[in-house]
Structure formats: structure tokens, C-alpha cells
Amino acid sequence: MSGLTTPATSSASSSSMDANNNTGSKHNNDTKSAEYYYLTPNAVKRLPNYQYNGADLSLLYKHVLSPLAGWCVDHLTPTWLAPNAITSIGLCWMISSYCVIWYFCPGMYEANTELNSEYTVPSAIFLLNGCAMLIYQTLDNMDGKQARKTGSSSPLGLLFDHGCDSLNSIFGSANWIAAMGLLPGSVNVLLGEASGSANVQNKSYLSELLGGDVMLATFLILSPMTAFFVSTWEQYFTGKLILPVFNGASEGLVMGASLSFISYIYGPMIWQQTTWTDGAIAFLGENGIMAFSAMEGRVRNLDIVVLSSIIALVQELLGKVPFVIRSYGKEAMRTLIPHIVFVISTVVIITNDSTIFLRIPRTMCHLISGLFVEQTTQIMLDHMVEEKFSAFRWVMLPQVALAAAMAVGVAVPNESVDVFFMTYTTGLWVYLALKLKTHVNEICDVLGIWCFDIVSPHPKSKRD
């Protein structure tokens, strides 16, 4: 393949509807294996030969994170512990932190004392989140080193690690929103026009520019997801995953943990203040620069966090997308379509129903996460077995249909939208759970390994 990990054109695929509906990418170059539900004969043939090719160029990773993970593997990790178990333990920390914060901040804004006077959110939950993020990061760095130490490296480990990382994206974003007390909606809707008009949200330049704080929350959720997908998309074509000097997996998680620690130490309301920008404006004013004086009191500390996230995403897109499209042409553009549709349909729904994150915030988070996990895990698997990633993701059809209806002005009652999304999200995650479980079982069977056990022999560990 000469480094190109997209599939070469081969025989025509089965035209069965089952293939389209159950994989979303049952490819036009192979039929299903008679032995497996998802994996094609081509996948069964190529999967055992897959070799990961990647590097993390981060100086923080090289000098701090990697040595720390290596020491933990060498001195603290028993040789019988499976790498995928290490990954799962890290994810459990993030799930636990997410659930605790969900309990105290169901709407993600309850730590904002200007908006919630009914009870006090304990600051310790943000300490928990900061610790959980660093533990997750360390264990995520340990799993590969444990695999090499025990000789248990496999394509399953890469897919499992990648799947956990994609799932973790929503946990990190939602917890950051809660830690900053960011209201994913209009303060005037929550408090009423009279009470909300004086709130700093209505004075924020960035909030006004982007369409309100609901869009800031949306950017905090979608920006890491898009950066993640683009990196995987690039790997699908080039066969390499090269993380730059500054990347989300290393510096991004450390900064996210630091955000939570700041909320624990100084309180979440520090992010609602304008002290950072005001201090910079005062400093510039003392030196005769008055060009930014109009921004005083209008740029919250959390606005800087959101703006930094957007800038990091733009940098990621400019660094990868033009290169891949120039190198691989229309095929590269075709495989970007699912994520573009995912982002646009999400933004259209939130733009046309700006109170949806106030009514069903967690349902929306889980739906966005499910759609993201489905496409990222599929493109990663297709990369590993050198098959074609389908631009048609049938699981997105309900969201795209609703977004299209809203875009053309169809009035849909809020109650109907809420029931629709709760039903849709539940069905999506039931489907995903079954799909991913089947993927893992089939890959284990092909490779002759267990997912969470590297000691017990697999019945097919020695294939003819």
C-alpha cells in the first residue's frame, strides 16, 4: 500500500441492506465473512498484519509523561495485567468523575453562584476531576508500554485505546463546562429578562460574537472531537499518527486538569470574572496603549479558554486538512463528509433551538458523544484492515432529518424534540454497545487473544 492505508479497489461488495445498516461501512470491495457478522474476509486477512506507526512529539510527553508512565509500568504494574484493563481503569476514573459532577451539576451551570442559589456545589468534585484526568492520561500512556513489556501488543489494543479516548472526549468537555459554571443557554431565559440583563454573560464580546453561551459550550464540546477525528482521518490515509509538539493528548489534558484544579482552589466563579483581560488592558494602558480599553469588563476568563480551544482547532485543521486533500484528492474529501455533516447538523439544531441544552443537557451530550464514537471507531477499524470508510452513517439520519426540518422553518414543539432525542440517544447507545462488543469479540477471535486477559490461552491462539 506504500503507506496508504485506505483500501485498494477489489471485488464488489454484497448489496445486502444488513451490511449497510449494521456497519455503516460494509465496503464496496468485499463481502462479509461467513464466520463473522462485521469483519469481512479481507479484514480477517489483513488484521493480524497491522502494525501501528506513530509518535508523540510533545516535549512534555518526552520528558515527563512518558518517563512517568514507564516507571509506573516497570515498578508498579504486574505482568499479568492486560493493557486493555489498564485503559479501562483510566476510563472508569473519568466516568466516575463525570457521574459525580453530573449529580451535583445536572445542568452543567450549577457551580455558578449567580445562577444557582439553591445549594452550594462542593469544590472537591473539581479536584476529583483534575486528578481523574491526570490518572487517565498516565494510564493511557502506560497501556502501550505494558503491551510491549509483556509482548501482548495487538491491533485490538490500538482500537480499544482509540475507542476509549473518543468516549472520554465528552467527559472532559462536559466537566470543563461545569467547572467554569458556563450556562449552556441564555441567562435571560433561565433568570428572566430583568434579572439576567445585568449578568456578565450579556456583556461578553465572545458570547455576543458566536451567538450566546450555548454556542461557547457547543464549541467546547465539538472542538476536541473535530481535532480528534481529523487526526484519525489523517492516519487513515497516511498510515501514521504523529502528534505535534503541542497536542491535546499531552498538553491538552494537563491544561484541562489545571482548569479543574483552579476551580477547586479559587472557585468556579473565577472563570466568570474578567480579571485576566482587564489586567492585560490595564498594563497596556500604563504603557500608553489604549486600543483595547473598550474590551474592559467584556472578556471573561472562560472566554479566553474557549477562544484558545478554537485557535487550537484551527491550527490542527490548517496543519492537516490541506496536506491530506492535496495528497489524496476527492477520496479524502469524501471521508470528511460524515464529520462535517455531524458538526453542521448539531450546530443547526442548537442554533434553531437555543434552549435545548437547558432542557436536556445530558441527553444532548450523550447523543453527540454516541455519534462521534460511532464514526471515529469505524474509521479507525477501516484504517487497520485497509477497507473503505463509508460516508453514509445511517445512525446520523434522525439528527440530520431534524436539523433539515428546523433549517427550513418546520415548527417542532419542545416536548416532541425532547422525547425524540431521549429515544434516539437510548437507541443509539444500545446499538453502539452491541456493535462495539461484537467488534471486540470478532477481533479477539481472529487474533486468538482475550481482551482483558493476557495469561489464559485463547482457543484460537494457534491458527493453522
Q: Is the full-model pTM beyond 0.75?
A: yes
What tens digit of pLDDT does each residue of 63-110 get? 999 999 999 999 999 999 999 999 999 999 999 999 999 999 999 999
Q: Model confidence at 191, in pLDDT bands (50, 70, 90)?
A: confident
- What does the pLDDT read at residue 30? 45
Please tell me the predicted confidence (pLDDT) of residue 35: 83
Can you tell me the mean pLDDT for 209-237? Answer: 95
Phi, psi of 455 (to 5 degrees): -105, -50
> Could you give the CA distance from residue 205 to residue 281 in angstroms, rounded to a whole number?
15
Write down the pLDDT at residue 18.
Answer: 38
Closest CA to 226 of 389, 62, 91, 344: 344
User: Is residue 8 very low, low, confident or very high in pLDDT (cuts 50, 70, 90)?
Assistant: very low
Q: Please report the pLDDT score of residue 33 as a whole number.
A: 55
Measuring CA to CA, how many Å separate 96 from each of 92, 247, 255, 368, 401?
Answer: 6, 25, 20, 20, 34
The whole-angstrom separation of Cα 101 and Cα 80 is 33
pLDDT tens per residue, range 369-408: 999 999 999 999 999 999 999 999 999 999 999 999 999 9
pLDDT recorded at residue 21: 41
How confident is the model over 251-259, as a mean pLDDT? Answer: 95
Quick one: cell of 386? 485497509
pLDDT-derived band at 150, boundaries 50, 70, 90:
very high
Flag whether pLDDT at 270 surpasses 60. yes
Is the pLDDT score of 323 beyond 70?
A: yes
Task: Look over the chain and give the mean of its residue pLDDT values, rounded to a whole number.
Answer: 90
pLDDT at 5 over 60: no
pLDDT of residue 198: 63
Q: Which of 203-207, 220-224, 261-265, 340-344 has the lowest mean pLDDT?
A: 203-207
Confidence check: pLDDT of 295 > 70: yes
pLDDT-wise least confident of 20-29, 338-347, 377-386: 20-29
Would you state the pLDDT for residue 6?
Answer: 37
CA angle 440, 442, 448 (to 5 degrees): 95
Which residues, 6+ apart, have CB-to-CB distance to 143 below 8 Å?
83, 84, 86, 87, 157, 161
